[in-house]
Amino acid sequence: MTLTRRAMIACTASFAVAAPLAGMALSAPAIHVLQDPNCGCCTAWIEILHEDGFIVTTERSFGTRLIKHKLENGIPQGMTSCHTGEIEGYMIEGHVPTADIRRLLVERPDAVGLAVPGMPYGSPGMGPEENRDAYDVFLIRKDGSTEVFSHYEAA
């Protein structure tokens, strides 16, 4: 088989068109979320992740199985919420804003991950941001200690 000039130009043109798309696929963070299938706020948070360019896979989980998964992966009992994500070796617990997840992936601290305990009103997936209650995003250290990673004022 010989490579003709026409085939070479077509191949080069195809690569020029496809290369940016391949780069986007490689740069889109992939997150796996365990969620209660009956929880609407979990679904709303997942939609926010999709809208911000995350590749999201989900798994139905609830009750003691979901709680056990959280505890086995280093999420302290006082930091739990309704759903748990896993991304690039980090755990994401609750309604964590996408900007904080992206910051975590850039900074790469030696930590379990991030948590927004409970379900604060106005956090992503929990109602309109313009009516938000104040809340903190916590960094969970591997020893179980926590520190404020981000703070969101009441709107």
Averaged over successive runs of 10 residues, the pLDDT of the chain (155 residues) comes to: 50 45 62 89 94 96 89 96 96 97 98 97 94 97 97 96
- pLDDT for 7 equals 45
- pLDDT for 5 equals 53
- pLDDT for 38 equals 82
- pLDDT for 21 equals 45
Angstrom CA distances, 19 to 11, 13, 14, 23, 26, stand at 12, 10, 8, 6, 11
- Residue 11, helix vs strand vs coil: helix
Structural contact between residues 103 and 87, judged by C-beta atoms closer than 8 angstroms? no
- pLDDT for 40 equals 85
Total-model pTM:
0.82
Amino acid at 14: S
- pLDDT for 13 equals 45
